A and B are shown apart, each in its own frame.
Chain A
Amino acid sequence: MNVALGVWPARWTRQQRSTATIAASAVVLVLFMWGVAKPLSWMPDPVGPVADEFASGTRVTVWLTLASGLAGIAIGVLTAVAKLAPFPPIRWAADLYVWAVRGTPLLVQVLFVYFALPAIVPGLQLSDFTSAVVALAVNVGAYNAEAIRAGIVAVPKGQTEAARALGLSPLQTFRDVVFPQAFKIALPPLVNNVVALLKDSSLAYVIGVVELSNVGNRLQAATFEPVPTLATTATIYLVLTTVLTRISGAIEQRLDLEQRR
């Protein structure tokens, strides 16, 4: 991924190149989400005529990933902190959550949130999209928690001691000193999780979310032409995961002060 930074002028600082890569990737992503219909429409049947459906499926997939990805990182941070809490019941609750989520299939979790949760919590009404976001966020949050916990544990104890000795509160110590270092350590596994999340978001199709896989599969079933329809679907996923890894590669570069990578 670091090759991507090489296209920028050498006199730019690492940080400027990283920012440029992130900005360029974001622009590519936005152009792709709204512009992919155009090249797809030039394709022959059966893809060409339904280019707009593919484009809207792509947008739904990206929104699913962004929403559940951000929520999943927040859940991951909170759970990681809870796992390291001095008060045992908080640790137990966090362990229970991670254990349950990692021990059950994501497909079951998606179905559970959509069908079972409203039955358990009266009055709860979630749309198919929201249900999918909740299930995906809860799922990736558990995996993120492990990555972030490992990052926090890897920050030397002397860092906390130095911060506390300066009079920083526990919260300030975490926010200003421990978390930035832990996040850097946790970033590669977090990126793995988010890339996996992008692909796992396809499971939202079982509860009727019209995301990319759903579009591809329905078209395949309607036209009996699996090769062009599913190849198109797969290619769009590939573009999305590539853009995602470019962005995370740039973030890694930005945090890598020592330039070890």
Chain B
Amino acid sequence: MSLVHSAPSLATDRPPLIVAEGVNKHFGPAHVLRGVTTRFFEGEVAVIIGASGSGKSTFLRTLNRLEKHDSGRIVVDGIELDDNVRNLDAIRREVGMVFQQFNLFPHLTALENVALAPRRVRGTPRAEATRAALELLTRVGLADHVHKYPFQLSGGQQQRVAIARALAMNPKVLLFDEPTSALDPEMINEVLDVMKDLARSGMTMIVVTHEMRFAREVGDRILFFDHGELLQDAPADEFFERQRNDRIRAFLGQISH
């Protein structure tokens, strides 16, 4: 399935793209991330799963500092995430994100949504940014909808625009925060198909999802979160086929039926 990527154990000879070390996060009295330590490598598809409130989305959001971590270290592409704003802008240029609620800009067309960040952040001339945006929208199957506004598109189409928008910045890694959870069932596959294509093209992806079939099919590595802890971090086949943890077995049993 994933010929392009090597298993994480084989990838350790390369420097990791993202390192998280002992990451802690509190929301008031709630300890939502408890000493999370892991690494992500280039070309890898990591899938984060776990029950609601297990901290998986929060962890994903700390990776581009939409949430600040309280303690521990996060290093992305060699740059440490801290209060230094220059670091932050540099990192966010390299880390794309796709949200559960799409978060397209409603006052801009699909094309403008995709072209905005390259024009503003990279200073790409308008004509060039538009051409690139057109290409990306074609790639996600929306060539006929480029001049539509978000409210004129279905949820699945909006999410594909959002993926194109994230790709427009040429990120080194794409974060997906439950990208199909807000979609009607018949639209989930059109989004998952785009994500599978991306994975095949060698894109580095970290995906928070409840789609177990996607995790099994596309994921190189599965991270299981439980009550703010990274309970297990295993290659996908081992995780699904030879799962020894009772708690995770119970979770998988519930979710796949």
Contact B92 A181 (CB under 8 A): no
CB within 8 Å of A: which B128-181 residues = 149, 151, 162, 165-166, 169
Q: For B121, list chain A residues within 8 Å (CB).
A: 166-168, 172
Q: Is B39 an interface residue (CB 8 A)?
A: no
Shortest beta-carbon distance, A201 to chain B, in Å? Answer: 32
How distant is the Cα of A255 from the Cα of B95 in the complex, in angstroms?
Answer: 32
How distant is the Cα of A185 from the Cα of B44 in the complex, in angstroms?
Answer: 43
Cross-chain contact of A167 among B99, B117, B149 (Cβ < 8 A): B117
Given the interface pairs A166-B166, A167-B93, the reply to whether A158 lies near B101 with Cβ below 8 Å is yes
How distant is the Cα of A73 from the Cα of B166 in the complex, in angstroms?
Answer: 34
Q: Is A222 an interface residue (CB 8 A)?
A: no
Contact A176 B103 (CB under 8 A): no
Cross-chain contact of B92 among A167, A176, A180 (Cβ < 8 A): A167
How distant is the Cα of A118 from the Cα of B133 in the complex, in angstroms?
Answer: 57
Contact A158 B103 (CB under 8 A): yes
A257 closest partner in B (C-beta): B149
Q: Is A184 an interface residue (CB 8 A)?
A: yes
Shortest beta-carbon distance, B191 to chain A, in Å? Answer: 17
Q: Is A165 an interface residue (CB 8 A)?
A: yes
Q: Is B89 an interface residue (CB 8 A)?
A: yes
CB within 8 Å of B: which A162-201 residues = 162-169, 172, 176-177, 180-181, 184
Contact A164 B66 (CB under 8 A): yes
Interface SS majority for chain A? helix
A260 closest partner in B (C-beta): B151
Given the interface pairs A166-B165, A167-B169, the reply to whether A159 lies near B103 with Cβ below 8 Å is yes
Q: Is B105 an interface residue (CB 8 A)?
A: yes
How distant is the Cα of A163 from the Cα of B162 in the complex, in angstroms?
Answer: 11
Q: For A181, list chain B residues within 8 Å (CB).
A: 105-107
How distant is the Cα of A256 from the Cα of B121 in the complex, in angstroms?
Answer: 28
Interface SS majority for chain B? mixed
Interface size class of A (residues with CB under 8 A): 20 to 34
Interface size class of B (residues with CB under 8 A): 20 to 34
How distant is the Cα of A258 from the Cα of B103 in the complex, in angstroms?
Answer: 17
Shortest beta-carbon distance, A70 to chain B, in Å? Answer: 22
Q: Is A161 an interface residue (CB 8 A)?
A: yes
Contact A257 B169 (CB under 8 A): no
Q: Is B64 an interface residue (CB 8 A)?
A: yes
Shortest beta-carbon distance, A88 to chain B, in Å? Answer: 19
Shortest beta-carbon distance, B67 to chain A, in Å? Answer: 10
CB within 8 Å of B: which A63-98 residues = none
Q: For B257, list chain A residues within 8 Å (CB).
A: none
Given the interface pairs A158-B101, A161-B99, the reply to whether A168 lies near B120 with Cβ below 8 Å is yes
Q: Is B97 an interface residue (CB 8 A)?
A: yes
Contact A166 B169 (CB under 8 A): yes
Given the interface pairs A158-B101, A161-B99, A257-B151, the reply to whether A167 lies near B107 with Cβ below 8 Å is no
How distant is the Cα of A172 from the Cα of B92 in the complex, in angstroms?
Answer: 14
How distant is the Cα of A257 from the Cα of B106 in the complex, in angstroms?
Answer: 9
Q: For B96, list chain A residues within 8 Å (CB).
A: 165-166
Q: For A168, list chain B residues within 8 Å (CB).
A: 116-117, 120-121
CB within 8 Å of B: which A139-172 residues = 156, 158-159, 161-169, 172
How distant is the Cα of A167 from the Cα of B121 in the complex, in angstroms?
Answer: 6
Contact B107 A180 (CB under 8 A): yes
Q: For A166, list chain B residues within 8 Å (CB).
A: 92, 96, 116-117, 121, 165-166, 169
Contact A169 B66 (CB under 8 A): no
Contact A258 B66 (CB under 8 A): no
Map CB proximity to B onto A91-117 as digits: 1 under 8 Å, 0 otherwise: 000000000000000000000000000
How distant is the Cα of A211 from the Cα of B92 in the complex, in angstroms?
Answer: 55
Known: A167-B93, A167-B169, A180-B107. 18 other contacts (CB 8 A): A156-B103, A158-B99, A158-B101, A159-B103, A161-B66, A162-B97, A162-B162, A163-B117, A164-B92, A165-B166, A166-B96, A166-B165, A168-B120, A168-B121, A169-B89, A172-B121, A176-B105, A176-B116
* 7 residue pairs from A and B, CB less than 8 Å apart: A162-B105, A163-B117, A166-B116, A166-B169, A167-B121, A167-B169, A181-B107
A-B interface, 5 closest residue pairs, ranked by CB to CB distance from nearest:
A162-B103, A166-B117, A158-B103, A167-B93, A165-B97
